[in-house]
């Protein structure tokens, strides 16, 4: 299998390293950063002589795309990959359930991917696994599920600088509020997508899916954010996910499945960046074998429980 890394920042480099571990041949990387274009992957400590180019001048089977969180912004890049014969796995959060925010773009991508005989998937650690696919899999020992709650908590100080900036670490509260309102930073993206994935996997049609996030501060400075996504039916909350990204926080994931076979699962935390890279690389063979078109993680999970 020959792969291209499209977007050679911190996540792209981790993806390249994971590819080498899996025996996937990285033929090259694409990035617009003039400081790295023209270099080789070996210049970044990766055991590969492949080069970094500004445009997609490679041939291969699959493109691992990690350039942004919003589908409308990366849509041209996905189209470019499909036009040049690549299947696509992207870490774009809103691509994990594109119909929620971008129904028209989702239709266009699905049509184009089918025309080209290729597959497109949006996934990662979150959305993609910890707060959606994993709760669904943990529900597999139940036939009927009454409610699901999943919480992830990370120490933001252990995350890469770009993520810290994304949640406003160390800045004034008023400044972060302004930047969020103006769209200059986003906080975490994908709460609603994770909830929608859970609902679809459990054949549940909510009345509403909603999301939100709030700033966490200490001594007037932002120390992180808490966000949530919920699905309600008849005024009752049936699915709830939360993501806490707070400086110095204890790291864990905790999932509660309420139903005819209740489950409580808790971890000691998952390394998010490495987890994202591992998830997309571990899905490469599955995507190459999947049906052509735009797919979601729900198309790959075999279990079909009922959320009432």
pLDDT at 25 over 90: yes
Q: Per mean pLDDT, which range of 30-34, 162-166, 269-273, 286-290 is the poorest? A: 162-166
Question: Where are the strands (E) in the chain, listed by range?
Answer: 2-6, 25-30, 52-53, 62-65, 87-90, 119-122, 144-155, 208-218, 221-233, 236-246, 252-259, 263-266, 293-295, 306-307
Mean pLDDT over all residues of the chain?
Answer: 95
Per domain, the residue ranges of the chain are 2-124+277-299, 133-269
Question: What Å distances lie between residue 211 and 100, 101, 148, 151, 302, CA to CA?
Answer: 12, 12, 16, 14, 27
pLDDT at 136 over 90: yes
Q: Which pLDDT belongs to residue 218?
A: 87
Q: Which pLDDT belongs to residue 167?
A: 87
Neighbours of 183 (CB within 10 A): 8
Q: Which pLDDT belongs to residue 162?
A: 82
pLDDT in tens, 154-177: 999 888 888 888 888 988 999 998
Q: Which pLDDT belongs to residue 308?
A: 87
Q: Which pLDDT belongs to residue 148?
A: 98
pLDDT at 289 over 90: yes
Q: Which residues contact 42 (CB under 8 A, 6 or more apart)?
A: 48, 49
Q: What class, spelled out in words, does domain 2-124+277-299 have in CATH?
A: alpha beta
pLDDT at 32 over 90: yes
Q: Which helix (H) or strand (E) holds 177?
A: helix 173-182
Distance CA 20, CA 2 (A): 11
Q: Which pLDDT belongs to residue 3?
A: 98
pLDDT at 222 over 90: yes
Q: Which pLDDT belongs to residue 186?
A: 87
Compute φ and ψ for 166, nearest 5 degrees.
-60, -30
Q: What is the pTM of this model?
A: 0.94
In a 3-state reduction of DSSP, which class is residue 164?
Answer: helix
Q: What is the mean pLDDT of residues 248-276?
A: 95
pLDDT in tens, 76-113: 999 999 999 999 999 999 999 999 999 999 999 999 99
Tokens of 291: 């049906």
Q: 133-269 has which fold?
A: Dihydrodipicolinate Reductase; domain 2 (3.30.360)
Question: With b meaning 16 or more CB within 10 Å and e meaning fewer, what string describes 140-166?
Answer: eebeebebbbbbbbbbbebbeeebbeb
Distance CA 305, CA 308 (A): 10
């Amino acid at each position: 299998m020959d792969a291209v890394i499209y977007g050679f920042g911190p996540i792209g480099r981790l993806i390249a390293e994971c590819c080498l571990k899996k025996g996937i041949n990285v033929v090259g990387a694409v990035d617009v950063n003039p400081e790295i274009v023209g270099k080789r992957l070996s210049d970044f400590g990766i055991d590969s002589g492949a080069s970094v180019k500004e445009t997609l001048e490679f041939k291969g089977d699959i493109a691992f795309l990690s350039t942004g969180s919003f589908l409308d912004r990366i849509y041209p890049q996905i189209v470019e990959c499909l036009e040049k014969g690549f299947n696509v796995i992207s870490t774009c959060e809103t691509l994990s359930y594109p119909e929620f925010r971008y129904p028209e773009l989702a239709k266009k991508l699905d049509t184009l991917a089918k025309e080209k005989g290729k597959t497109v998937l949006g996934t990662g650690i979150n959305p993609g696994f910890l707060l959606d696919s994993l709760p669904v899999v943990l529900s597999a020992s139940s036939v009927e599920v009454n409610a699901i709650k999943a919480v992830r908590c990370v120490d933001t100080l252990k995350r890469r600088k770009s993520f810290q900036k994304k949640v406003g670490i160390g800045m004034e509260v008023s400044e972060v509020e302004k930047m969020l309102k103006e769209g200059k930073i986003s906080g975490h993206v994908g709460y609603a997508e994770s909830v929608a994935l859970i609902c679809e996997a459990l054949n549940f049609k909510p009345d509403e899916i909603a999301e939100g996030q709030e700033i966490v501060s200490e001594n007037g400075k932002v120390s992180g954010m808490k966000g949530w996504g919920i699905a309600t039916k008849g005024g009752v909350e049936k699915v709830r996910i939360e993501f806490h990204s707070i400086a110095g926080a204890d790291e864990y994931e905790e999932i509660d499945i309420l139903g005819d076979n209740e489950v409580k699962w808790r971890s000691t935390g998952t390394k998010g960046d490495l987890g994202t890279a591992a998830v997309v690389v571990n899905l490469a063979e599955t995507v190459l074998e999947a049906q052509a078109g735009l797919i979601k993680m729900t198309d790959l999970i075999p279990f079909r429980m009922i959320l009432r």
